[in-house]
Structure 1
Amino acid sequence: MATYLLRRLIGAVLVMLAVSTLVFFMIRLVPGDPIAAMLADAGDAATREAMIRRLGLDQPLIIQFFKWFAGILHGDFGASIYGSNQPVSDILLTALPKTLSLAFLSFIIAIVIAVPAGIISATRKNTAADTSVSLFAFLGLSMPDFWLAILLIIIFAANLQWLPAIGYQPLSAGFWEWLSHLILPAIAIGTGFSAIIARMIRSSMLEVLQADYMRTAASKGLTQRVILIRHALPNALIPVITVIGIAFALLISGAVVVENVFSIKGLGRVLIQGIQNRDYPVVQGAVLLVSAFFVLSNLVVDLLYAVIDPRIRYS
């Protein structure tokens, strides 16, 4: 197991090295000039040249890259070149709890809905329950999350006035304040992911339930509950865990539209604003952080593979 973990960690480090290199050079291929975005029509040529020198943009790209990379190794992501020259780490640390809270709650909602729905659909194939789950999955995949978000605001915030429509409150302000501001966006995001996971669980469970060893387990007199929980579900989890791991990583980076609908300045919104402002350090830091979550999710998924099926760690 230790060797397996070491291989995965080395692979994760190499991926992050590649991502850090690509994001640095590719952001500079985006059309636009950060100095022009900062100064607009307010600066002359001398001011522009002074700004370029202050930000170090007059140096060769390779020098800029190594300086930025050396800063990352020391935990310094640089400073925003747009606005108040705020450290990128402060901007990301302010946005990250909002995105993580939203992603976590969306993930819980998706799992709570998807796992029972997928199991019921698989064990009651071609029944009314299976049809209902399939219809839910179809609607969940078809509805854009921003449309569902607006619909939830109209019903629960504007008409019923049960929940706030916009904004975010930290957990330190109280559990209900935190939950009440996140429940609507979490439902809007989690519904679509629950449909994907439910369909995957159904498909995987149906394949496992038709295996020979499942008939053997039934012939031994095991109850349906034991067969499902101890035999069918663990063997069906391998492809499901892959989807769940990818889904959680996507929740970290893919909630941009919903964050804008609910005026939550999370990581996705910071990234979009950074791209619009040509704020290289912010974009580089945000993309690197999102990439780290993808790499971490894949690493956790790989380790869960080895836990569920010990044969994987030797292959």
Structure 2
Amino acid sequence: MTAFLIRRTLGAIAVMWAVATLVFFMLRLVPGDPIAAMLADAAGPEAEAALRAKLGLDQPLVVQYGLWMWNALQGDLGASIYGSNQPVRTILAEALPRTMSLALLSFLVAVVIAVPAGIISATRRNTPADAAVSLGAFLGLSMPDFWLAILLIIVFAANLQWLPAIGYVPLSESFWGWLEHLILPSIAVGTAFSAIIARMIRSSLLEVLKADYMRTAKAKGLKERAMLWGHAMPNAMIPVVTVVGIAFALLISGAVVVENVFAIKGLGRVLIGGIQARDYPVVQGAILVISAFFVFSNLLVDMLYGALDPRIRYD
């Protein structure tokens, strides 16, 4: 296991370096010049050259890349080239807790809905309960998250006035304020993911329930609950864990549309705003953080494989 973790850690570092390198050079290929966008049309070549030199954009690309990579290794992701030159670390530090909070609560909503729904659908195949779960999963996958978000705002914020419609309150200020501002967005985001996970649990569990060892356990007189939780679920969870890991990483990357609907300035909104403004340091820093979460999620999934199935070894 130790050798496996070392190999995967080195591989993760290589992946993040490759992602950072690709993003750095591909951003420079996007049409448009941030200097021209920042300056007024009346600005002369002298002002443009001075600003380009101030931001370090007058140097060759290789030099810019080397400086940025060296600073990134020391934890310095640069500063935004717009506004007050705010450090990228500060921008990400403000946005990341909001996205993490939304992702964790959305993930919790998805799991709470999906696990019982998937088990009921698999153990009661071709029954009204199975049909109801399948219909709910179909609706969950079909509904756009922004449409569900607007519907939740109309019902619970505008009409019933139970929950706030927009905004975000940090957890450090108020737990209940933090929670009530995230209930509606987490339901809007988690519903679609719960449908995906429920369908995967149903499919995987049905395959396991048909296995010979399950019939043998039933012939021995093992209780249905013990068969389900002691034999079926651990073996059915391998593909489910893979999907859950990918889903969580996608949640971390930011539910951009839902964040905009609820006016939550999370990582997704920061990334989209940076791309639209050609703010190179912000985009590079945001993608680096997102790629780190994807790599960490994949590593965690690989480690869970061995915990769920003792037959899996990393030799």
Q: TM-score range by the shorter chain?
A: over 0.9
CA contact (8 A) 1:4 1:313 kept: no
C-alpha distance in 1 between matches for 2:156 and 2:192: 19
Contact 1:118–1:133 at 8 Å: present in 2 too? yes
Q: State the 1:23 CA deviation.
A: 0.9
Per-residue CA deviation, residues 187-239 of structure 1 (Å, 9 max, x unaligned), is 00000000000000000000000000011111121111111101100000110
For 1:95 and 1:247, locate their aligned partners in 2 and report how far apart those are by CA, in whole Å. Answer: 20
Task: Specify the alignment match of 1:110 in structure 2.
Answer: 110
> Deviation string for 1:221-263 (max 9, x for gaps)?
1111111101100000110001000000111114000000000
Residue in 1 that maps onto 2:263: 263
TM-score by length of 1: 0.98
Aligned to 1:64: 64
- Structure 1, unpaired ranges of 5+: none
1:268-307 aligned at under 5 Å gives the runs 268-307=268-307
User: How many residues are treated as equivalent by the alignment?
Assistant: 315
Identity of aligned pairs, percent? 73
Whether the aligned pair in 2 keeps the contact of 1:71 and 1:78 (CA below 8 Å) is: yes
CA distance in 2, matches of 1:4, 1:311: 16
Measure how far apart 1:29 and its partner are.
1.4
Contact 1:95 1:266 in 2 (8 A): yes
Whole-Å separation in 2 of the counterparts to 1:254 and 1:120: 31
User: 2:236 — aligned with what?
Assistant: 236
Looking at structure 1, the residues matched to 257 and 50 of structure 2 have their Cα atoms a distance apart, in angstroms, of 37
Deviation per CA, 1:153-181: give whole Å up to 9, x if none.
00000110110000000112221100110
Q: Distance in 2 between matches of 1:289 and 1:46?
A: 36
Secondary structure in 2 aligned to 1:58?
Answer: coil
Cα 1:40–1:179, aligned 2, differ >3 Å: closer, same or farther? same
2: distance between equivalents of 1:73 and 1:246? 27
- Please name the residue that 1:74 is paired with: 74
SS at match of 2:172: helix
Cα deviation, residue 2, structure 1: 1.2
Q: Distance in 2 between matches of 1:309 and 1:148?
A: 38
Consecutive unaligned residues of structure 2, counting only runs of 5 or more, are none
Aligned equivalent of 1:165: 165
1:32 Cα offset (Å): 1.1
Deviation at 1:42, TM superposition (A): 5.3
Structure 1 match to 2:22: 22
1:14 deviates by 1.2
Matched letter for residue 91 of structure 2: I
TM-score by length of 2: 0.98
Q: Is the 8 A contact 1:114 1:195 kept in 2?
A: yes
**Contact 1:98-1:265 at 8 Å conserved across structures:** yes
Q: 5 Å matches for 1:106-185?
A: 106-185=106-185
